Structure 1
């Protein structure tokens, strides 16, 4: 009960302090408001950017290792000339790995090229055409709004059937259901059997399903010569959940691929194993630096705000010295006086912090194109926590001085 009374009296005294000298209080709290705004705004921007960028790379899949000639992540000494001379993956290697791998959930094979698709007088340029095998759906998530995925028979017989994205469907067949309709790719007719779910535009327009066409791999090889003109086939392997870090899968892949390609023990690998985590970790490390910069920028503002609140509390102790003396003469304990001023400092700091959070929340309503700003609950709690901590640090010294006042001397100071 006493704590409720302390909190209530602290709120009352804090409100009185705000009303007695509103201009001074607002100016003092401005530092906390700006500091919390700077930190939470940076964290909100970082979280939103990181989420948007990572969603743009969702096509890489999770728990997936891909076999390529090139390494996804490189530094200033990236040996692209060495990777360029490496051999392309081939369908035989896919079959070999599919039959031999024991630490994999599934293995798939695919190749992509940019193309133009037509239907009557309508056409769509720049679509991403991918030829896939039947196991593609076992490695990557295929979300369809309507229609179905390929049957194994359609894949094996290289039938001219296709899955298309929303943008392509809206361009070729505006206002109509594309399922069962024909499209043309390099003069060859394909029947649409499925429509991908709409993804929308991301921060980076990479491999969006809205502009994608998927056909059987055998049909793809009739249109393009795989292994030339930048058309590089990819082998993707989905690991098991029990294989943390996919270490066992990577080791098995390396051993099988080296054996399949006839590499001697002294020869280095002529392939690269890439994981989506490589890119995600690189993105995360970049945003960690940005977050640290946000802490530094906001930290100076919060420091100024902390001094402002400490100044308010020292003035408040000075103005209420006589009241403190009367309270202590009537039996008030030191901790009662201490908590009274400490709660007041925390309450004042929270006002500044909540104001900063509200400003960030208001900014999230601003339209920034494809970037959607979201103020997470975690950042709200962080802002309130920092504000409370600043209040405690700023108010502890004035509150301690008030608690240690001699009641006789305090009453005489009136």
Structure 2
């Protein structure tokens, strides 16, 4: 029964399309444009948000950093002069936290500087040189495509070993194959390459990339730079437990231990900032949530117009098929059969317009936008089909109700 009803509705929908193709296409154009506008905005927003969050992946997940400056402050005032006078984190504080923190999976300390790497006559400028400890890989992702990470002995002995990015490898060792075991110079000091990062590609907004990074032991970094002075301050970071919601337990424990280490009295305020990596990502998500609302508004008017177009087709269809409705009723067809017949037809027509809009969006995903990759997600496809179905139901319910309520005798006489 249901399959026959669906088939007849599909057949009548096709007849409605063929009977006056121009009128039908113009009527469905509103649904097509509306679905295209909404899904295109959502696809662009999702792609931008994912790209930006991937570009911010260097901040890590479930991580709290010890900084002088907070990521955010009050809405009116940001007393940077007060934060500027705060002491930076230190290696001693890292050891103190590493030994005592119970709500952290791991603790790390790192420092970063921009420099130039050389090998023979080849050089690569603006390298992101970073000094790390052995636990760094347990806090932040260190995707190594070739070679290995540092050993504890290499870290503790401050050996001159390095993990480099693919761009640096190509620039310093052109046509030489694997860079493993080869040497490069940083500020006159020789380093042996023991690892190669996986290639990341270009990030959005020129975000830091491991393709242009060099990782060395923290002790080796301290040989090259006076770590602790302004501009070369080490950052302490701790990775929280998965069951620690919003890292509340870790934040409270870190604050208490740091206050004790720095000898702060109960009446004194913190002279450090505990920054959560999720703050920036949540801020990005909030911005794109507003843009998504704009997408609903933009596409909503087009869908509304499309809904009126579908309703117009259905009213015409009811009028043209009044005699057939009368015959069906005289043969025993129930009101719900007539109602569902026209309702299915309206949904089919709306889905055709929605599918056309989705196909246009899908076509745009093949357009080259540089570092931004557009992806039409299954969530947005289902949203488009769902919206089309809802518009079809809302547009067809009144004409379908009118058709279901026709008197069979009067309907047959209308011929």
What TM-score does the superposition give when structure 1 sets the normalisation length? Answer: 0.98
For 1:179 and 1:53, locate their aligned partners in 2 and report how far apart those are by CA, in whole Å: 32
Say whether the 8 Å CA contact 1:14–1:344 is kept in structure 2: yes
Please state whether the residue corresponding to 1:374 is helix, strand or coil.
coil
Look up the match of 1:78: 78
Look up the match of 2:23: 24
Look up the match of 1:102: 102
Look up the match of 1:286: 287
Q: What is the correspondence of 1:261-410 to structure 2 with a 5 Å cutoff?
A: 261-410=262-411
Note the alpha carbon deviations across 1:298-337, whole angstroms, 9 max, x for none. Answer: 0000000000100110111111111111111111111111
Aligned residues: 413
Say whether the 8 Å CA contact 1:73–1:279 is kept in structure 2: no
For 2:112 and 2:76, locate their aligned partners in 1 and report how far apart those are by CA, in whole Å: 28
Look up the match of 2:171: 171
Segment of structure 1 superposing worse, 298-307 or 133-142: 133-142
Segment of structure 1 superposing worse, 262-271 or 279-288: 262-271
For 1:274 and 1:126, locate their aligned partners in 2 and report how far apart those are by CA, in whole Å: 27
Q: What is the correspondence of 1:237-276 to structure 2 with a 5 Å cutoff?
A: 237-276=238-277
Is there any run of 5+ residues in structure 2 with no aligned partner, and where? Answer: none
Deviation of the 1:257 alpha carbon? 0.4
Q: What is the correspondence of 1:224-235 to structure 2 with a 5 Å cutoff?
A: 224-235=225-236
Please state whether the residue corresponding to 1:383 is helix, strand or coil.
helix
Is there any run of 5+ residues in structure 1 with no aligned partner, and where? Answer: none
Please state whether the residue corresponding to 2:204 is helix, strand or coil.
coil
Deviation of the 1:403 alpha carbon? 0.3
Segment of structure 1 superposing worse, 38-47 or 139-148: 139-148
For 1:57 and 1:195, locate their aligned partners in 2 and report how far apart those are by CA, in whole Å: 21
Look up the match of 1:128: 128
Note the alpha carbon deviations across 1:46-99, whole angstroms, 9 max, x for none. Answer: 111111111111111111111111112455533222221111111110011111
Note the alpha carbon deviations across 1:211-262, whole angstroms, 9 max, x for none. Answer: 0001111111111111224112100101111212211110000000011111
What TM-score does the superposition give when structure 2 sets the normalisation length? Answer: 0.98
- Across the aligned residues of Structure 1 and Structure 2, the Cα RMSD in angstroms comes to 1.0
Q: Which runs of 4+ in 1 moved over 4 A?
A: none
Please state whether the residue corresponding to 2:206 is helix, strand or coil.
coil
Look up the match of 2:197: 196
Given the alignment of the two structures, is residue 205 of structure 1 paired with residue 206 of structure 2, yes or no?
yes
Segment of structure 1 superposing worse, 263-272 or 27-36: 263-272
For 2:48 and 2:363, locate their aligned partners in 1 and report how far apart those are by CA, in whole Å: 18
For 1:27 and 1:169, locate their aligned partners in 2 and report how far apart those are by CA, in whole Å: 58
